[in-house]
Amino acid sequence: MDQTGDILLDTEFYRTLLDNLYDGVYFVNPDRKIVYWNEAAERMTGFTRSEMVDRHCYDDTLMHVDNKGVSLCLRNCFLEKAILEGVTVEGEVYYHHKEGHRLPALVRVSPICDTTGAIIGAVEIFSDNSPRVRLAEKVEELEKIALLDPLTRLGNRRYGDLNLAARLSELERYGWPFGILFMDIDYFRKVNDLYGHDVGDRILRIVATTIINGTRSSDIVSRWGGEEFMILLPHVDAKQLKDVAEKIRLLVEKSSISVEGKNVEVTVSIGATLVHKDDTIETLMKRVDELMYKSKSEGRNRLSIEDDFYP
């Protein structure tokens, strides 16, 4: 272990203390090589200590991105800023789990100094920022009334139908607006044929988890069927609808899995619209479905939003 490890991890007491923290913790040296990786970091990311120690933080593992899908590892790296400028950096990132999906984390990075005050590395502490408690409550509720899709742990199509009808009823009675996103995984059948249904199931779970972690607590997510997903977004305007849709598209785009030594990338095509006052379930779903297929026909991995609302 290098100087950073010698100073901070020279006794079993400190190792035990750090390993029992709830938050993920890791140290890097001035070259951003990882010299310590605690047990919470293993649990949260899926990557073991042996897989991470002696690797650089910018290697092809965590691959931090911001909420717009922009990579932070080679530019705007929190650890690099802390080491070069001697400052503490905080923010929200989305990291790449070993299973392939993206998860949000609150990150705090601080420089590490030796007894002379010279910076010899940095420590990153990251905590889970995913809506796990909210999701667990929803899962329990759905299981009780048989509205759960067993593979993705999202609401199933009946759940989506019921909520869509409820939102339309609220629109009629109270004038409450909402938006809808309808998305389809690109080239899903080709991946199924090439790698098998087990890989297809992994991709469905990756997309479902990424969607949940990219939406608001008030949004309603369901697996519509096959490789299609629907999201209802109460009380949004066109800009908010577009922002959420683009965020999800970019987060999915940054997700991938390794199959037989090959990197299988995942993308979605999305249609988006705000509800019309005279909409029925049929007219609304027909419109958003057509917008989704517009995204497919124009090259996939893109968003098509109704021009009437967002020119």
For residues 36 and 42, what is the distance between their CA atoms, to the nearest angstrom?
Answer: 11
Strand, coil or helix: 97? coil
Q: What share of the chain is helix, strand, coil (3-state, %, to 5)?
A: 40, 25, 35
Given a contact cutoff of 8 angstroms between Cβ atoms, the answer to whether 168 and 131 are in contact is no
For residues 8 and 225, what is the distance between their CA atoms, to the nearest angstrom?
Answer: 52
The catalytic residue among 42, 80, 124, 227 is 227
Q: Is 99 a catalytic residue?
A: no
Strand, coil or helix: 52? helix
Strand, coil or helix: 185? strand
Dihedral sign, CA of 131, 210, 223, 151? negative
Half-sphere exposure of 185 (CA within 13 A, CB side): 29
Single-letter residue type at 28: V
Q: What are phi and psi of 62, to 5 degrees?
A: -70, -40
Annotated active-site positions, please?
A: 227
